[in-house]
Amino acid sequence: MPKGVTRRRPQTRARLLESALAAFAELGFHATSIEEICDRAGYTRGAFYSNFASKDELFFALFDENAEKVLERFERAATEIDPSATWQQQIATVLAAAGPGDRNWYLTSMEFSLHAIRDPRAAAILAEHDAKLRAALTGIVAGIFDRFGLALTIDPDLFARLVVAIREGGRAQSYVEPDRLGLGELERLFLPMVLEAVSTTD
């Protein structure tokens, strides 16, 4: 491959990912064609297929990109929590952290999850990516627990699954009724109770 093309490839890939996420959020994962993504990005189908084998593969690249941003947000929130709050409130605040691009990703990931439920192959790959994200999340939570001399009394992976369930369920309701339920409100309200129930002095 010519050197010029090689240097442009990361930029091309990033532009395709950005355009795909916007299209998925606006039109839906299934309704968005590869042509639509390419048109928005200003590239040809050849550029798409030189970076991704399919829309599914592109989605998982978006998943990994978003997971990195989410974990960075959690880690940053963990260093900025209010020391005057209770440890339960501090941890809940970290787990409720939201970002400006959350809505587009939520719309895209929820639709893909429905697709994966119907497609065992997609489900298996999604489960692998979910597991890596949960493992990283439990690592962050474990660090905060250590700071307070605490330990979970349940399987950390199950705890991470519960946190994800509360976050995703809460966001669904917040996006439907933004004037009634703020983003992260359910996490900040109920996770302290959950944390109290599943933790003990280490």
Over the stretch 65-112, which tens digit does the pLDDT of each residue have?
999 999 998 888 888 777 788 889 888 888 888 888 899 999 999 999
- C-alpha–C-alpha distance, residues 43 and 69, integer Å: 26
Q: CB–CB of 119/54 below 8 Å? A: no
- Residue owning tokens 């970002």: 99
Residue spans of the chain under pLDDT 70: 1-7, 202
Q: Determine the pLDDT at residue 1.
A: 43
Q: CB–CB of 152/124 below 8 Å? A: no
Q: Determine the pLDDT at residue 174.
A: 95
Q: How far is CA 6 from CA 48, 79, 161, in A?
A: 14, 38, 40
Q: Are residues 28 and 61 both part of a single domain?
A: no
Of the candidates 13, 8, 61, the one whose C-alpha atom is nearest the C-alpha of residue 41 is: 13
Q: CB–CB of 29/8 below 8 Å? A: no
Q: Are residues 79 and 34 both part of a single domain?
A: no
Q: Are residues 48 and 58 both part of a single domain?
A: no
Q: Are residues 34 and 95 both part of a single domain?
A: no
Q: Are residues 85 and 32 both part of a single domain?
A: no
Q: Are residues 124 and 141 both part of a single domain?
A: yes
Q: Determine the pLDDT at residue 83.
A: 72
Q: Which of 12, 33, 52 is the last residue of a domain?
A: 52
What is the CATH classification number for the domain harbouring 140?
1.10.357
| Residue 192 domain boundaries | 54-201
Q: Determine the pLDDT at residue 90.
A: 85
Q: Are residues 75 and 109 both part of a single domain?
A: yes
Tokens of 56: 């599914």
Please, which contacts does 176-180 make with residues 24 or more away whose CB atoms are closer than 8 Å?
Answer: none
Q: Are residues 23 and 85 both part of a single domain?
A: no
Q: CB–CB of 160/136 below 8 Å? A: no
Q: Are residues 67 and 31 both part of a single domain?
A: no
Q: Determine the pLDDT at residue 2.
A: 43
Bridge partners of 152, per DSSP, are 199
Q: Are residues 34 and 75 both part of a single domain?
A: no
Q: Are residues 133 and 193 both part of a single domain?
A: yes
Tell me the three state secondary structure of residue 6.
helix
- What's the total number of domains in the chain? 2
Read off the pLDDT of residues 152-161 as tens digits, 9 standing for 90 and up. Answer: 999 999 999 9
Q: Are residues 41 and 60 both part of a single domain?
A: no
What is the CATH classification number for the domain harbouring 14?
1.10.10
